[in-house]
Chains A and B, each alone.
Chain A
Amino acid sequence: MAVDTGEAIEIREGVDRETVETVQNMGSYKYGWDTEIEMDYAPKGINEDIVRLISKKNEEPEWMTEWRLQAFRRWQTMTEPKWAMLHYPEIDYQDQYYYARPKSMREKPKSLGEVDPKLLATYEKLGIPLKEQMILAGVEGAGDTPAEGRKVAVDAVFDSVSVGTTFKDELAKAGVIFCPISEAIREHPELVRKYLGSVVPQSDNFFATLNSAVFSDGSFVYIPPGVRCPMELSTYFRINAENTGQFERTLIIADKGSYVSYLEGCTAPKRDTAQLHAAVVEIVILEDAEVKYSTVQNWFPGDEEGKGGIYNFVTKRADCREARAKVMWTQVETGSAITWKYPSCILRGDEAQGEFYSIAIANNMQQADTGTKMIHLGKNTRSRIVSKGISAGKAQNTYRGLVSMHPRATHSRNYTQCDSLLIGDKCGAHTVPYIEVKNTSSRVEHEATTSKVDDDQLFYCRQRGMGEEEAIALIVNGFAKEVLQALPMEFAMEAQSLVAISLEGSVG
């Protein structure tokens, strides 16, 4: 058998062309560039004046300012949680900016046409064009997508502000409200007042409380009763400014019998210093409604020595408030130096359903402590957790989760599977599940395994001419398949290649 050149690998039968390409493309973090753009900053540090200033910049009503101040006062009495398996230098909360806005956004652009071209170019470069085009870039020509494509409405958040939201008019026709939360506070105060903080209370935890005080923007979604949202909604978060924390807040309300699929993506430039990101996502799901929330988190992970990177402290929670409400969290966590994130489901309504699918990949010096909480309160509630943790380099990856069956939650079920894969002998994989069962008729099952890339599988791939890294990318994709399959199509492609990219250099 002839020795193949690198080129020949691509056309070899049985080898996924895309996997080969991504492995060959291993040009480290793809989104590490920054946009040179003039910014307005609030003064460094945090105090009541800064909180008032953020509120004022967003032209908020008095009740909202008060709400923020209340959170800020509470935050000052709280201490940073230390229980996660994360080690990072002490964060100086006074040494960063809490508000950064491109100068060109001083006057709110009335339409996408008025948005600074530099900003539009930034999103273009990220593959998220803010045009009302049919489908997200990167998916074009992807197999059997119908020619008309699927529409995705995008809300783009740049540092502290939302720069534009697409397809607003078309969504409005269906009665769907999709806009920056700053706008919702002004224009839909009745909805915001009713639901903001009803899932994640102001005083929930240290980072959520900080967010309640200083969140600058984020997305707001309201799906009216009986409406199936005509397109997928998406928010793209970009951190650009240096030394600036991003604190976005997302509030999604799915009224009775409605359905929405929501996607979230995030990237940041390469910086030497770490940056703080503390977001809150609240989802309220009423009777018979369903929300699908998918995240591909690809914040800058820091360099190989662990310099820089995003510290990602996120509180995400869905409240299945009424009967038969359903939520599905899917997350692909590949970025961030530190990940502290536990998307949770409160299954309050009878027969409510919660699902959590997660792939967390940590390479180099990354540390991830992530998982979910399934709180079963209603009867006949069901939940399912599938978590795949992959550690490489010197990274530490922890699954931390809670399944709680309350006495009233009779005949409920949970199934949890969390698997860890270790690549290399310097990394760590940890599992910290809490299982609390307080009634007889419910069933809880938890399974976890830890393994390394199977030598037999590796040998099989190598024997068929694959390089070690491509073979590992393939095996890892197979390991994570259950989760990748739960992603909407737009994300599945991206996630699959991210899996390969994140693991680059982890072999040998």
Chain B
Amino acid sequence: MSDTAVLSTSARPDRAGAAPRVGDTALTARLAALDLPAGGFSAPARRDAAARLNEMGLPGPRDEYWRYTDPAPFNAPRPEALAIPPREATLFDDIDRLKLVFVDGVFDAAASDDLTGEGLEIDTLAAADAGGDHWAGALYGQLETAGQNPVRRPFAALNTLAARDGVLIRATGRVARPVHLLYRRSDEAADVHLHHVIRLEQGAELTLLETGAMGARSNAVLEVDLAAGARFHHIASKRADDDKLGIGHIFARVGEGALLKSFALAVNGRVMRNEGVIEITGDDAVAHIAAAVLGDGDEGRFHHDDTVFITHAGQRCESRQVYKKVLKNGAQGIFQGKILVRPGAQKTDGYQISKGLLLDEGSQFLAKPELEIYADDVKCSHGSTTGALDETALFYLRSRGVPREQAVVLLVLSFLADTLEEIEDERLRDGILTRLDQWLTSRATG
């Protein structure tokens, strides 16, 4: 018998790099359609991003992380023109807040409040880039880069390369007034890239609110760096007339004893993809990310994709992912979530729940809740359920004299309730709840 091994020992190519990619011509065309800024303090980060993007290419239809969402509309050089929605009162109008307005992705100083606040240092990316060195230089594009491994996120690299504006916030203490980023549109074909960087120093606390329509197509990156004991609250709300085609990213690094809570509400839209990449680096930290999604396909396509990746590197940390999607009229809801527990991240408590409520035939909920665990003393669980409204509960309510439409509204609200739990501020939570209730009731009766 031969003594040659059946299996040779040659190393296999790197898996992450082996994913399929679309032709370079698509990327060239995509970049040619953009007016790329040279950048000031951010210039080195932009150069790196260009190299990263060239190496990764744009995602192809067979890319595993684009399994359920066709990347084609994001790969196209230009977005289709989209009518400008009428201006409505925003969710947070009656709250004492620091308002920053971005029109077509460009800061509008006249419409915004003064960029000053107690314990707060705020600049816009465009203004900071026109000047010299900036504290954000150490962060801009850095958390995005860290979030590229093991899953590549080409549109985030594209954003770092192409973003002209955004907000750079550094907080050193507890900031009482929430910072509200309000997006507006004036150009029907604006292809918007916004890049925000937030740094909370030790023990600082900040609430960030986001509402409105960014552009005909939007690509946003929010980089959040939390030092020890910092607390960051984030609430984003999208309405039916807001962005129709958008990709949003959150890249967060959560330090020792720090807390991050992010909640997103999406009511309609068209094709939305949200990527949340959170790395818990310190011990005893907490990260919660949640979304309530209401999708109705009757105004055209509704496709909402949440792709979340939480990495536990610290000990005794807690993470929660809570995603609820109510789908109707051929709407598609996607959830791809992952908890990665690194070796040594003992006493991790990871929890992930994704639920789809299908209100009629033709709607779909597609989920891929993943766990990857390399430490033994951990508690990780995930659950995912999909189904229709509970007929028994509906019958109970109707037998108590609640009209069917109202009963449906009640059940949908109760279905979404535990995502709202992730909003700590009661006023904000009640505001969202009222908005949801109004929206559901108006549609149920209208």
Task: Give the residue of A90, A425, A427, A428 whose beta carbon is less than 8 angstroms from that of B372.
Answer: A428
Q: How large is the interface on B (under 10, 10 to 19, 20 to 34, 35 or more residues)?
A: 35 or more
On whether the beta carbons of B346 and A425 are closer than 8 Å, the reply is yes
- In contact, B369 and A437 (Cβ under 8 angstroms): no
- Docked-complex contact A446 and B372, CB < 8 angstroms: no
A91 near B373 (CB under 8 angstroms)?
Answer: no
A447 x B383 contact (CB < 8 A): yes
By the criterion CB–CB under 8 Å, are A242 and B376 in contact? no
Contact of B187 with A by CB under 8 A: no
Given known A-B contacts A88-B7, A90-B12, A435-B386, A429 and B373 have beta carbons under 8 A apart: yes
Residues of chain B lying within 8 A (CB to CB) of residue A446: 367, 369, 382-385
Given the complex, which residues of A lie within 8 Å of B375, measured CB to CB? 422, 425
Is A497 an interface residue, CB under 8 A from the partner?
no
A439 to B388, CA, bound (A): 9
Per-position 1/0 for A4-21, Cβ under 8 A of B: 000000000000000000
Residue in B closest to A445 when the chains form the complex, CB atoms = B385
Q: How far is the CB of A36 from chain B (nearest CB, A)?
A: 12
Give chain B residues whose Cβ lies under 8 Å from the Cβ of A434.
366-368
Q: Is B368's CB under 8 angstroms from A433's CB?
A: yes
User: Which B residues are in CB contact (< 8 Å) with A445?
Assistant: 383-385
The answer to the question of B362 belonging to the interface, with a C-beta cut-off of 8 Å to chain A, is yes
Give chain A nearest CB distance to B329 CB in angstroms.
12
Q: Is A76 interfacial (CB 8 A cutoff)?
A: no
B54-70 vs A, CB cutoff 8 Å, 1 = contact: the mask equals 00000000001000000
Q: CB distance A82 to B6 under 8 Å? A: no
B376/A423 in contact, CB under 8 A: yes
Does the CB pair A430–B363 fall under 8 Å? no
Within 8 A of B (CB), among A418-445: 420, 422-445
CB distance from A416 to the nearest CB of B (A): 9
- Number of A residues contacting the other chain (C-beta, 8 Å)? 54
A450 touches B373 (CB 8 A): yes
Partner-contacting stretch, out of B133-141, B222-230, B250-258, B353-361: B353-361
Q: How far is the CA of A273 from the CA of B9 in the complex (A)?
A: 11
On whether the beta carbons of A440 and B388 are closer than 8 Å, the reply is yes
Are A90 and B383 in contact, CB atoms less than 8 angstroms apart? no
* Known pairs A425-B377, A437-B356; A82 contacts B386 (CB<8 A): no
Q: How distant is the Cα of A82 from the Cα of B11 in the complex, in angstroms? A: 13
Question: CB-CB < 8 A to B379: which residues of A?
Answer: 449-451
Contact between chains at B364 and A427 (CB < 8 Å): no
**A66 within 8 A of partner (CB):** no
Contact with B along A210-251 (1 / 0, CB 8 A): 000000000000000000000000000000001101000000
Q: Tell me if B360 and A440 are in contact (CB < 8 A).
A: yes
The answer to whether A452 has its CB under 8 Å from any CB of chain B is: yes
> With the chains together, A242 CA to B4 CA distance in Å?
10
Interface string of B1-44 (1 = CB under 8 A from A): 11011111111100100100000000000000000000000000
Check if A444 sits within 8 Å of B387, measured CB to CB.
Answer: yes
In the complex, A252 Cα to B382 Cα: how many Å?
36
A311 to B383, CA, bound (A): 32
| B346 cross-chain contacts in A, Cβ below 8 A | 425
Contact B385 A443 (CB under 8 A): yes
* List of A residues within 8 angstroms of B8 by Cβ: 89-92, 95
Is B371's CB within 8 Å of the partner chain A?
Answer: yes
For the complex, give the distance between the alpha carbons of A466 and B365 in Å: 48
Interface: A83 (CB within 8 A): yes
Query: Which of B10, B371, B385 lies in contact with A431, CB distance below 8 A?
Result: B371
* CB-based contact B361/A407 at 8 Å: yes
A202 to B383, CA, bound (A): 36
Min CB distance A421 to B, Å, is: 9
Q: Does B432 contact A (CB under 8 A)?
A: no
The residue in A87, A243, A431, A444 that gathers the most chain B C-beta atoms within 10 A of its C-beta is A431
Contact of B6 among A91, A429, A431 (CB under 8 A): A91
Bound form: Cα–Cα A434–B373 in Å: 18
List 11 contacting pairs A-B, 8 Å CB cutoff, sorted by A: A92-B8, A95-B5, A407-B362, A420-B373, A425-B376, A427-B374, A433-B369, A439-B358, A439-B361, A440-B360, A444-B386
